[in-house]
Amino acid sequence: MPRVSQDHLDARRRQILDGSRVCFARYGYEGATVRRLEEATGLSRGAIFHHFRDKESLFLALAEDDAVRMAEVVAAQGLVQVMRDLLSGDSEHPADWLGTRLEVSRRLRTDPEFRARWAERSEQLTRATRQRLLRQREAGNLRDDVDVDVLTAFLELVLEGLVSHLAMGLPADDLEPVLNLVEETVRRHSARTEAH
């Protein structure tokens, strides 16, 4: 029997994650039945669960994958850019990021076991945000009268508020000035006045 290459396994895993992302975003965790996951990925349950132990592991892998992608955007452009991507659809999976974020938020409130497992994974986004802010402070672009940990918490709260806003179906087309204000809030005062 021929051996399956690592590239093939990686491509299959990516196919499962991409299809599952759409399925979880559309139906939520409970509604993403095995049958729906099979339809969304184009693969059998055997193929899906060969790569992931169970639906919980699949969802956690998907949420972790999204967190890694968001952390990459944060490292390069900041957390406000993630928020802009959620609004505009410019990133690779922003609408589906939203679906995953909403489902993560819901499960954090209702599932203590999930909360414990997710805590280990959610640190990536916080760490990327904090590191980006530290680099911005070293470059003289970030206000220095507020601790970086406070600014990190502020930006994360704004992100969660944006996710809640979008989850309620409230209008998103008028939020760009709000994100501009958030960005201005964390910039160094002299950098703000020099820009105007």
pLDDT tens, position by position, 183-196? 999 998 754 444 44
Look at residue 90 in the predicted model and tell me its pLDDT: 52
pLDDT digits (tens, 9 = 90+) for 151-174: 999 999 999 899 888 888 888 888
Q: Which domains does the chain have, with CATH numbers?
A: 54-195 (1.10.357.10)
pLDDT above 90: residue 37: yes
Look at residue 118 in the predicted model and tell me its pLDDT: 83
pLDDT above 50: residue 79: yes
Tokens standing for 89? 């659809």
User: How far is Cα 20 from Cα 2, in angstroms, rounded to an integer?
Assistant: 28
Look at residue 192 in the predicted model and tell me its pLDDT: 46
Residue of higher predicted confidence among 32 and 102 = 32
Q: How far is CA 42 from CA 30, 36, 55, 83, 109, in A?
A: 19, 10, 16, 31, 32
Look at residue 190 in the predicted model and tell me its pLDDT: 58
Burial class (CB in 10 A: 0-12, 13-18, 19+), 194: exposed
Give me the mean pLDDT over the 65-93 stretch. Answer: 82
Percent over 70 (pLDDT), the chain? 90
Give me the mean pLDDT over the 93-118 stretch. Answer: 80
DSSP-assigned beta bridge partners for residue 187: 142
pLDDT above 60: residue 125: yes
pLDDT above 90: residue 67: no
Q: Please, what is the average pLDDT of the chain?
A: 86
Burial class (CB in 10 A: 0-12, 13-18, 19+), 155: buried
